[in-house]
Structure 1
C-alpha cells in the first residue's frame, strides 16, 4: 500500500505512544492466551468422567452411638433393607467417595520389598455389589463374589488377596498391554500380594487435583466401624425422590444412630471443583479487563493522533481524499502497531507458557490458541480504532484548513 511509508514515518514522530500501545497489546496477548489455556485445562479436568452413574446415585453417613449395636449384623440388615426398597437398584458400604476430597490411598509395587518402585492408587473398600451400585463398567475380568468379602477391623494392616482396578491403573502397571493385568499379582504394604481379577473402565479418586486421579482400586472389605458411609443407586430419575425415603427408613429402623450428610455425587462434583470455577471466573475477568483497557488505549492514541493532525487531515480532504481513505489510514496505522504488539506478545505467550509447563507440569500451549489470540487482538484493534477513524473522516475540509 502506497501510504504505508507515510504512516510509518508519522508513527516514528510519535513512537513513544505507538510503542506503549504495542507493548500493551503484547502484554494482553501473553496473558490472554495463557489464561484461556488455563481455563481450558480446568474445564477438561472438570469434564472428566468419574465413572459413576452420577445422575442416579447418592450417599449418606451412618453414625451409631448405641452400646449394644452389633455392627456386622446391622450392616447387613441396613443394606438388605435399602436394596429391597422399591426404586433402589443397589447399595453398598464404602470407605470414601470419589471427588469428595477425603479418602484412602496406598502405594503398590510389582515386586515385594521396601526398595521397589511404587505406584499410588486410591482405594475403595466395597463388597460384591459395588460394580452395580457405583454404575462403573467392568471391561475385563470378573467381579467379586460374596465369598471374597472380608471384615476389616479398625487398625488392621492385612489386605485381601483380590482386587479390581481401573484401566488407567492397569495402563500404569503394564504400559502398552493393560489387558494383561488381569490375573497378575502386585504387592501392597510392600509384601502382601493382591491379584487383579477385573478391570473397570473408569473410577476417579477422591482428589481431583491429584495426578493419579484416574488410578483407583476396589478391595473386598466390609468395615467393622460405628461410623460408615452408604452409597446408593436408584432407578433412573428417582434419586431425589428416594433420598428422603432412605434417610427416613434408616432413622426409624434404629433410634440409636444419626443419619447425616445425605448428598448426591453431582453436589460433590460441584463442591470439588468450586475453586476451579472460581479461578476460571477470575481469569475470564482478567481477560475481559485487559482487552477493554487495550481497546481504550487504542482509542485514546488514535484520538490524540487525530487532534494533532487535524490540519493534515483537512488538507488531504481538500485535495480529494475520500472518507474511506482517511479511515483506511488510521486502520492501517493501527494494524502496524498491532502487528508489532502481537509479535512481541506471541513470544511472551510462549515464554510464559514454557514457565507454566515447567513449574506446574501442564501441557504445552497449542499453536491454534496463539493464533486465536493474535486474530482476536487484531479484531479488537480494528474495532477500537473504528470510531476515531470515522471521526477523522468526518472532518470538513474547509474547517480543517482553517485550523491553526
Structure 2
C-alpha cells in the first residue's frame, strides 16, 4: 500500500465522512456483539457437551406414588425392584432419591473436620443400594463398592446418616486438595458439621442434578433405601432395549400394585434435552443475531461502496484514461474499505472487552479469551473485503471514455 494510493483514498473518504463513519461504527458494533456472542455460544456448547457420567442412552426413570392406609413402602419397593431386575433386557435397577440432569435433588455440606467454623464443600446426595454403581454405570476407581450388609432403610422422619459413603473423584480432590485422591479412601468426613462418615470408595464421575451448579461433579452416594410413599426408580437397559422396556415396565408396575400411581416416565436423553433447553435456545438466538448483523454490515458496506462508485464514475473513467488498470481500480476500493474496516475493528476490539467486563460483573460469565478478539477482527476484515469486491469490480469496468462525457 503506497502513499500514492492512500492519498486519494483518504481525501475521498474525507469528502464523504458521514458514510465512512457510519460504516466504521456498524463494523465496531457488529464485532462487539458477534465476538461476545461466539464466546458465550462456545461456553454454552461446552456445558451442554458435559457427560453426566451415567449411561444416558440406555437409561430411564419413573415415579411410584402410593396411597391408602394399607400401602407399605418397604415391601412395595422390594417387590418393584425384584420385578424390574428380573425383566429381560434390564441391566440393573435401583430406587434413588435424585437423578443427574433432572434439576431436583438433595444437597448437603461436608467438612474434613467437625465444627461450625470449618470450611465445607457442597455435594449432591444420591441414596442407592449395592446395585447403584452398576445401574448408574459408574466405576469404583479406589476402595470398594457398597455390599448388601451396608444398606439400611431410611424412614421419612430420619435425620441421621449412614457411617460410610462413596464419593466422586472431584469431591475427594476438593475435600483433600493436598492428598492424592486415591489415598482419601478410609478418611473421615463430616456431614451436618459433626456427624462422621468414612469414605469407603471413590467413583470416577457422576453429575449432580443441577446442570447450572458450580460444583456439578461434587457427589456423595449413601447406602440407603428410602421408606417414602413416593419413590423413584432408575432403570438401565441393555443397548437398544430402552424404548421397548419403558412402557413395558410402566404397565407391569401399575398392574402389580393398585394402591399406587405410576407417573413421570422419562428417558435420561429426554431429561437432558429439557434441562439444557434454555442454553440451546440462547445459542439459536445468538446465532441468528450474529448472522443478521453480519449480513446487515455486509450490505452496508456494499451500499457505501456502490454509492461511492456512482458518485465517482467520471473520476474513475479519468483514472482509466490516464492508464490505471482494472486491477488498480479494484485495489483502490479494497484499500478504502480496509481502512474503514480497520477503524471499525479497532474500536470494536475496545468495545468487545468493555462489554465482556460488563457481562462478567453482572452475570458472572468468564472473561473472554484473548484470541477471540484478533479472530473477530480478521473475520470482519474478510467480510468487508468480500462485500466490497462486487462494487469494486463494477468500478473497474467503467470505460475510460466516460471521462470525456459531460453531465
- How far apart, in 2, do the equivalents of 1:372 and 1:403 lie? 47
Match of 1:279 among 275, 278, 282: 282
Q: How does 1:242-391 map to 2 (within 5 A)?
A: 242-391=245-394
- How far apart, in 2, do the equivalents of 1:108 and 1:381 lie? 56
CA shift digits 1:199-235 (9 cap, x unpaired): 1111111111111111111111111111110000111
- How far apart, in 2, do the equivalents of 1:341 and 1:167 lie? 48
Over aligned residues, Cα RMSD in angstroms? 1.4
- How far apart, in 1, do the equivalents of 2:73 and 2:105 lie? 21
Structure 2 gap ranges (5+): none
In structure 2, the residue matched to 1:134 is 136
In structure 1, the residue matched to 2:48 is 46
Match of 2:168 among 152, 166, 169: 166
Structure 2 residue 238 is matched with structure 1 residue 227: no
Deviates more, 1:357-366 or 1:309-318: 357-366
Structure 2 counterpart SS, 1:367: coil
Structure 2 counterpart SS, 1:194: strand
Pair 1:345–1:121, CA change in 2 (3 A)? same
Note the C-alpha offset of 1:105. Answer: 0.6
Note the C-alpha offset of 1:49. Answer: 1.0
- How far apart, in 2, do the equivalents of 1:361 and 1:175 lie? 25
Q: Is the 8 A contact 1:310 1:403 kept in 2?
A: no
TM-score (norm 2): 0.96
- How far apart, in 2, do the equivalents of 1:47 and 1:82 lie? 31
Structure 2 counterpart SS, 1:25: helix
CA shift digits 1:161-213 (9 cap, x unpaired): 11111111111111252222211111111111111111111111111111111
Match of 2:210 among 188, 207, 212: 207
Match of 1:239 among 236, 239, 242: 242
Note the C-alpha offset of 1:403. Answer: 4.3
Note the C-alpha offset of 1:369. Answer: 2.1
Q: Is the 8 A contact 2:113 2:189 kept in 1?
A: yes
Pair 1:49–1:72, CA change in 2 (3 A)? same
TM-score (norm 1): 0.97
In structure 2, the residue matched to 1:36 is 38
Note the C-alpha offset of 1:400. Answer: 4.4
Structure 1 gap ranges (5+): none
In structure 1, the residue matched to 2:149 is 147
Q: Is the 8 A contact 2:135 2:234 kept in 1?
A: yes
- How far apart, in 2, do the equivalents of 1:293 and 1:77 lie? 64
